[in-house]
Amino acid sequence: MSDWRSIVVGVDGSPGSRKALTWAAAEAAEHGTDLVVLNVWEHTLLPPAGSVSVSERYVPDPIQRTADDLLQVIKEELGEDPPVLVRPLVKQGRPAKVLIEESADADLLVVGQRGHGGFAGLVLGSVSQHVAAYAKCTVTVVR
């Protein structure tokens, strides 16, 4: 066993991030450390007033919706009783920036090769590429 404190894994629900989650959980079990499962959402502007696409009475809470989605992904990938202590975390901001900030307190940062969005022809997504260059700990990009 090692004296690692935590492994942080970025999860956006994409197939690549799900693979990263599974890999990170196995690594956390190997090192006997906690697994921080981080989802980062970006604030987007609502459509202009009077738009028929958004109800005036209901705008969903993005943090609660994202937290519920994250818990579902964890359950689907790691099961009801994961082999490690899992700490789900949802933060608002730019994904690469938040992941890099979280890397300061981690022993390992894990991301998928590609997440949602971007260009299919690229080998690495912009977030994984940025994180690999600027994280404050070791980074694993899972393919």
- Convert the pLDDT of each residue in 112-135 to its tens digit: 986 545 444 444 568 999 999 999
The answer to whether position 34 is within a domain reads: yes
Q: Measured between alpha carbons, how far is 101 from 97 in angstroms, rounded to an integer?
A: 6
The answer to whether position 53 is within a domain reads: no
Confidence bin at 66 (pLDDT 50/70/90):
confident
> What percent of the chain clears pLDDT 70, i.e. is strictly above it?
76
User: Which residues constitute the domain of residue 11?
Assistant: 7-42+59-86+94-142
Number of domains in the chain: 1
pLDDT, tens digit, 9 for 90 and up, residues 68-111? 999 999 999 999 999 999 999 999 999 999 999 999 999 999 99
Q: Does the pLDDT value for residue 28 go beyond 60?
A: yes
The answer to whether position 68 is within a domain reads: yes
Nearest to 40 by CA among 67, 75, 60: 67
- pTM given for the model: 0.82
The answer to whether position 127 is within a domain reads: yes
- 10 vs 2, 50, 54, 74, 123, CA distance in Å? 22, 36, 29, 12, 18
The answer to whether position 17 is within a domain reads: yes
3-state class (DSSP) for residue 90: strand
pLDDT of residue 19: 96
CATH number of the domain where residue 63 is located: 3.40.50.620
The answer to whether position 116 is within a domain reads: yes
The answer to whether position 2 is within a domain reads: no
pLDDT of residue 29: 96
The answer to whether position 49 is within a domain reads: no
34 forms beta bridges with 6
| Percent composition of the chain: helix, strand, coil (DSSP 3-state, to 5) | 35, 20, 45
Confidence bin at 64 (pLDDT 50/70/90):
confident
